[in-house]
Homo-oligomer: A and B are copies of this chain.
Amino acid sequence: MYPKNAWYVACMPEEIDDKPLGRTVCGEALVLYRGPEGKAAALENFCPHRGAPLSLGAVIEGKLVCGYHGLEMGCDGKTVAMPGQRVRGFPVIRTYPTIERYGFVWVWPGDPAQADAAKLHHLAWAESPDWTYGGGLFHVNCDYRLMIDNLMDLTHETYVHATTIGQREIDETPTKTVTEGDTVITSRHMENVMAPSFWRMALRGNHLADDVPVDRWQICRFTPPSHVLIEVGVAHAGNGGYNADAKFKASSIVVDFITPETESSIWYFWGMARNFNPHDKPLTASIREGQHKIFSEDLEMLESQQRNLAAQPGRQLLKLNIDSGGVQSRRVLERIIAQEQAAAPAALSA
């Protein structure tokens, strides 16, 4: 169960620069490509002629040309032309509203009439020259909510990421979780601790001593449908922590866009946005590499957890205080999904 009337990240822009891309989002098999003037477009991945996947075709002058018999598809789902055929009566295929912004291609897998660019999550850092971003994509065989749980409870860092970002003090420092409208915020502030290896690297990257005590923070923000943005950072201890002057700290935003593929698999777009040394490309690469290693460590755990839960579907799990972030996020999702389902019959009869 996932909201369908929402903007999800469908792909990174470069994935469709050279050729169409087949990708399933929220159970919808899509072909993503660049139509006229390079504008990102999404259609159902099904040629109306004989059902071939349009993603095996090519984009020629902004038209998606089926790789089987040359049907030329427009980004409105209407066939433009086909060699030797009149195409006026051809059935129209489904289109999906698409926006390219903030360095991602977003798609609306639900009711197109409700798609509204204004509903797109605003990402200030993605439009600021003072910030830079590096990230990647994983396919993970788990329910998207397991990944939300994972990111809204960072105590797992101590165990899953022991050698990089984990440290004992995470466990020892309680979190505070609040829901503000549709947003859920879980925050943790550790004071006067030694930075773990990933953060020592970031301190050095920001020309700061890495062998002195720091204040460390983690502020996880869930917003529907499945975005988790986490403000993380360290500041030399005693300078105000999260509110310290920039010259004392290395901070960034962990970016997690979780796109359900099916009920039990996701496309996980992960990365880090930072505003220190934004032009230092080797630093971007080294942070990206570090994150790749760290986030890889979650995959086996999440996929095993998924299999365990699927084998015992009725089994109750604990909801501890550390789970509040995930629990409250699921509550927001349940409300949104229920609203969507209540509205659906009306939408269908309209």
Contact = CB atoms under 8 A, between A and B. Distances in A.
Copies of this protein in the assembly total 3
Contacts of A322: 69, 84-85
A141 to B, nearest CB: 14
A318 B86 CA distance: 12
A160 to B, nearest CB: 7
A14 to B, nearest CB: 23
B305 A52 contact: yes
Interface residues of A, number: 49
Interface stretch (A151-159, A190-198, A279-287): A151-159
A322 to B, nearest CB: 7
Interface in A76-94: 82-85, 90-91
A174 interface: yes
B51 A155 contact: no
B83 A155 contact: yes
A323 interface: yes
A139 to B, nearest CB: 17
A50 B172 contact: no
B318 A52 contact: no
Interface in A30-66: 45-46, 48-53, 56-57, 65-66
A320 interface: yes
A206 B321 CA distance: 67
A269 B29 CA distance: 32
Interface stretch (A115-123, A178-186, A306-314): A306-314
Contact of A70 (B68, B85, B149, B159): B159
Contact of A308 (B52, B67, B159): B52
A304 B52 contact: yes
Given A69-B322, A322-B69, A84 B172 contact: yes
Contacts of A308: 29, 45-46, 51-53
A4 to B, nearest CB: 17
| Most chain B beta-carbon neighbours within 10 Å: one of A51, A171, A172, A311 | A51
* CB-based closest 6 A-B pairs: A83-B171, A53-B304, A51-B308, A51-B309, A52-B305, A49-B318
Given A70-B155, A90-B318, 7 more contacts: A48-B317, A49-B320, A52-B305, A67-B160, A69-B159, A70-B159, A82-B320
Interface of A: 29, 45-46, 48-53, 56-57, 65-70, 82-85, 90-91, 149, 153, 155-156, 158-160, 171-172, 174, 300-301, 304-305, 308-309, 311-312, 315-318, 320-323
